[in-house]
Chain A
């Protein structure tokens, strides 16, 4: 297990270096001069332009900018936003918990519904339930998240008034947020009704964000289960007279989990991408909206720092997923 871990970690470093290059290059390859964009119709004089270039370090040769950037990373300095003038890391830390909270809720919802749905569909292969479930999943998978989220708001908040429209908590609640996770902070605050309000605000964004991963997980579980259900050992287990629940739930599902875990792991990336739209619509103060704003403003430091941090999170999650494989399938550990 240890050697597997070390080998896996070995690929981590080059990936990380690659990410720094991509993050650095990406925002600079986009056309658009941040200073001109900041000045807009008003324009900026040539002297002033030069001064700002120098102040922001854009007059340095590109390789020098890259080296400064990488050197900064090793000192834990991801630079400063040239718009808000605040350190990128501070902004990320203030916003990231909101994204994590939402993504965790979404992935939990997608998993606890998606896996059983996939299992049930596989067991009832070809029957009505299977077809209904898989068609629904296809619809869920192909739905534009933007439209779907708005529809949820209009129906459940606007027309029915069941859920709040947007935000993380009712505006009358006002307390310190030490963890950044509203569900936890609202409990810690001790204010009556705060937790309820925070939970209510989570419902629609969670559903919107979970939709695509849910569909993917359900479909993946179904196909993995179908494959396993045809295996000899399953037939043997059945022949031994094991109850269908034990056969499907333990023997088959456990072996079908590898591709399912892969999909769950991969959907972390999808979730972070989906969070960009979901957060914008639900006014959810997470990193998705922050990144979009920064790309439009060509806020180089934020975009490259933010991309790096997000990539780091995805890489760590994938590392954990790889380790989980080993837990489910001893063959991978040795291989």
Chain B
């Protein structure tokens, strides 16, 4: 274990234990590591990228739009292939008891941070044994990035192989966090490259102090932050896996913020005068995907009819217990370009039965696939499937429920000749509608993430145009239009978005729910 000689920090923590500057966050689990490029879980990002690191561009706190981060400005070439970033001057990497930077952040750090994740990342690629860069790969970066070049010390040019407007949003994601090349070089020279994943050095609002596995992570304020330093002096993650226990800790004043409350506890929390519950729709959608290549589900009228038979409000009330809202679009309401003008298919069993008859379908029997795991967008898929089964039997459709082990479920549901409608969902990565519409409903995704096996020409044209268009207003228009096509064609029954509830102590000021499901403590303060 690391030697903790940070007596001064200890003294500071002790001396000011009662002062307003220490915030304790009862986190739900242990981070897998501290190098955000290696992982995909939110728990790990909270502990690393979201509080310790910065990126070229940031998401506006609490929103899905982009603002300047370590890059103070950028240009996109006419053909959409070249992104030139002007870096901020004088940005300092963290000075800690394990690293003292000798220079400010510059173009080398940006190139290092992005290129190390590719196969040709050289010695930086394998600093951690068995490293694999899942997000970099799953966001298609190896195909997309042609080169990352240094123009001068404070200018970096990224060249793409094809125009792709969501690229900026991708660069605001955790995997694109900017680390210190100097630190990496020092570690490699010292023969301890694996420490890059254990003792992070970033430019963010908080510096890493210590991690006791499965127990506590400590951070201290970065007083040299390029923005206004954080209001919180010491940030502590008290790892508390059980939701009921987190609640008791919040009640007892042992922590200030807790994620993922038990829905059953929400009422009591709301009536507690020392606790505020902040709520917002999560960046996700839970859906039932028909196999649109199989009869009779290849007929939009049949899909529409089934959608009308499902009582979504009852599902949200019964299964989400206040932690969900009915979904009418394939993207969540917190995302830009969400088309609120769209009318949802009404719950109307009579009309559904009539529509089904009109489409010439009688004695329909089908399968509903229920996921074996809990997800924010679907806390109980088995129960949801049963409710849908009951709704469908109302209109004379006979449904049986199938399920598989999770890995198997994900694989089998991809297949084009799959039988039945699949319950699944998606949580957004970069806040760009492309990340939902193209990934889940684009023609490329058939036989893969497109569980509806749905390839519609109108829809595809719209999302392909939007992918290469760089004007935000035009992109918004295209995506709004695509949602209209989606609703007419109904490849899915859109079921629900989760509602994120976060109980916080009334002492906490300025806390915002992050649409990406993160927990960000910059901009947060505590009152006595």
Binding site for B on A (CB under 8 A): 31-33, 36-45, 48, 52, 55-56, 80, 82-86, 91, 94-95, 150, 153-154, 157-158, 161, 164-168, 171-177, 191, 280-283, 285-286, 289-290, 293
User: Does B242 make an interface contact (CB < 8 A)?
Assistant: yes
Chain B residues with CB under 8 A of A175: 4, 10
With A161-B252, A171-B236 as known contacts, state yes or no: A166 contacts B245, CB within 8 Å.
yes
Q: Shortest beta-carbon distance, B194 to chain A, in Å?
A: 7
28 contacts between A and B (CB under 8 A): A36-B406, A36-B410, A38-B40, A38-B134, A41-B410, A42-B134, A44-B134, A45-B137, A52-B132, A85-B128, A94-B1, A158-B248, A158-B251, A164-B252, A165-B248, A166-B254, A167-B216, A171-B24, A171-B216, A171-B238, A171-B254, A174-B4, A174-B210, A175-B4, A191-B14, A282-B245, A285-B214, A293-B29
Query: Contact at A177–B248, with CB atoms within 8 Å?
Result: no
Which B242-273 residues have C-beta < 8 A from chain A? Answer: 242, 244-245, 248-249, 251-252, 254
Chain B residues with CB under 8 A of A56: 130
Report the bound CA distance from A55 to B424 in whole Å.
30
- Picked from B32, B213, B410, the residue with its CB within 8 Å of the CB of A40 is B410
Q: Shortest beta-carbon distance, B498 to chain A, in Å?
A: 14
Known contacts A41-B410, A167-B240, A283-B240; can you find 6 more A-B pairs with CB under 8 A?
Answer: A45-B137, A56-B130, A95-B214, A173-B10, A176-B5, A280-B242
- Picked from A33, A42, A165, the residue with its CB within 8 Å of the CB of B138 is A42
Query: Contact at B32–A84, with CB atoms within 8 Å?
Result: yes
Query: Contact at A176–B213, with CB atoms within 8 Å?
Result: no
Which B208-237 residues have C-beta < 8 A from chain A? Answer: 210, 212-216, 218, 236
Chain B residues with CB under 8 A of A40: 40, 410
Query: Contact at A285–B138, with CB atoms within 8 Å?
Result: no
- Picked from B33, B130, B137, B406, the residue with its CB within 8 Å of the CB of A55 is B130
The 8 closest A-B pairs by CB, nearest first: A36-B407, A285-B214, A172-B17, A285-B215, A31-B405, A174-B10, A33-B407, A158-B248
Report the bound CA distance from A167 to B244 in whole Å.
14
Least CB separation from A290: chain B residue = B214
Least CB separation from B10: chain A residue = A174
Q: Shortest beta-carbon distance, B399 to chain A, in Å?
A: 23
Chain A residues with CB under 8 A of B137: 44-45, 48
User: Does B343 make an interface contact (CB < 8 A)?
Assistant: no
Report the bound CA distance from A275 to B393 in whole Å.
46
Query: Contact at B128–A285, with CB atoms within 8 Å?
Result: no
Chain A residues with CB under 8 A of B199: none
Query: Contact at B449–A91, with CB atoms within 8 Å?
Result: no
Query: Contact at B129–A85, with CB atoms within 8 Å?
Result: yes
Least CB separation from A166: chain B residue = B245
Report the bound CA distance from A131 to B405 in whole Å.
48
Query: Contact at B245–A177, with CB atoms within 8 Å?
Result: no
- Picked from A94, A95, A166, A174, the residue with its CB within 8 Å of the CB of B240 is A166
User: Does B239 make an interface contact (CB < 8 A)?
Assistant: yes
Query: Contact at B252–A157, with CB atoms within 8 Å?
Result: yes
Report the bound CA distance from A83 to B244 in whole Å.
27
Chain A residues with CB under 8 A of B73: none
Report the bound CA distance from A40 to B425 in whole Å.
11
Chain B residues with CB under 8 A of A45: 137
Least CB separation from B247: chain A residue = A158
User: Does B346 make an interface contact (CB < 8 A)?
Assistant: no
Query: Contact at B197–A285, with CB atoms within 8 Å?
Result: no
Query: Contact at B40–A285, with CB atoms within 8 Å?
Result: no
With A55-B132, A150-B245, A174-B13 as known contacts, state yes or no: A41 contacts B240, CB within 8 Å.
no
Report the bound CA distance from A80 to B410 in whole Å.
27
Convert B1-41 into 0s and 1s, putting 1 for each residue whose CB lies closer than 8 angstroms to a CB of A.
10111100110011001000000100001101100001010
Which B71-112 residues have C-beta < 8 A from chain A? Answer: none
Least CB separation from A48: chain B residue = B137
Report the bound CA distance from A168 to B249 in whole Å.
13
User: Does B408 make an interface contact (CB < 8 A)?
Assistant: yes
Report the bound CA distance from A154 to B238 in whole Å.
18
Interface centre among B131, B215, B427, by most chain A C-beta atoms within 10 angstroms, is B215
Which B347-384 residues have C-beta < 8 A from chain A? Answer: none
